[in-house]
Amino acid sequence: MTPQRRIDVVQTLMADHGMSQRKACVASGIARSTLRYCHKQPDDSGVIQFMQTYMATNPRHGFGLLYASARHQNQPWGKTVLWRVYCQLNLNLPRRGKKRCCAHPTASGGGKAAHQGWSCDFMSDALWSGRRFRTFNVIDEFNREALRIEIDTSLPAARVIRALDELVEVRGAPLFIRLDNGPEFIAHALAEWAKTKGIALNHIQPGKPTQNAYVERFNRTYRTEVLDCYVFDSLQEVRDMTADWLHRYNHHRPHEALGSVPPVEYRVTKFPNLYF
């Protein structure tokens, strides 16, 4: 018999049979302290406000990222409290399928220090009107920091060179840039530009995007949290939303591969004297 059921029996004996509280408790096998106990509801207003604010800004983040962000911000609640309130607010996202290891994993050979190697790739999407646009994404392989996302309806090789040139002016030239074999990336103009800057262009094998895994993983995050999460009416709206998201991604979003710290914080921790 459950404690609540025993309490109900005690109350019935006292109300219907005029039995004293002491005798009713003895007959039901329950302590009087249990009968008199009043459950104190925890004050979850603070954690609820934190979760609602966080999820309003990051609607596609699951519990893992929310918990990592709470720890990174030194919030006072433990994992059990956060999970209880998270479930009460019905914030659970659908489960993803299990990750399957590839048959022959290969090392991507990422940069061993900040600013050694960049990864580049293109993405495409459409506005509400149906007008297509592309994005040119550049990240630092060392700390997964998103360096730039160029957005426009057309991004030819000249536009790619201009974007990379502006990055080099601010951050200096990396040792190599990893990219696929798209027409913009195999253009003669890009090869000549890289040669003048002393940058090696590491093209992956055709049909093997896993060899450019860092930027492919970044692309999925960008698509899930921005491109697939909102409907855009104009290119400027895409640029504004992307710029806001990039700041949060680099400075606030915990990255599991970096020990649940944001990319910029990870770089500053490893190389405190490196400034951009």
CB atoms within 10 A of CB 273: 5
* Tens digit of each residue's pLDDT, the chain (276 residues): 788 888 888 889 889 888 898 888 898 888 988 888 877 777 888 999 999 999 888 888 889 999 999 998 989 999 999 999 999 888 887 766 666 655 554 445 566 778 889 999 999 999 999 999 999 999 999 999 999 999 999 999 999 999 999 999 999 999 999 999 989 888 999 999 999 999 999 999 988 888 999 999 999 999 999 999 899 999 999 999 999 999 999 999 999 888 889 999 999 998 887 776
Full-model pTM: 0.76
Fold of 117-270: Nucleotidyltransferase; domain 5 (3.30.420)
Where are the chain's structural domains? 3-36, 45-88, 117-270
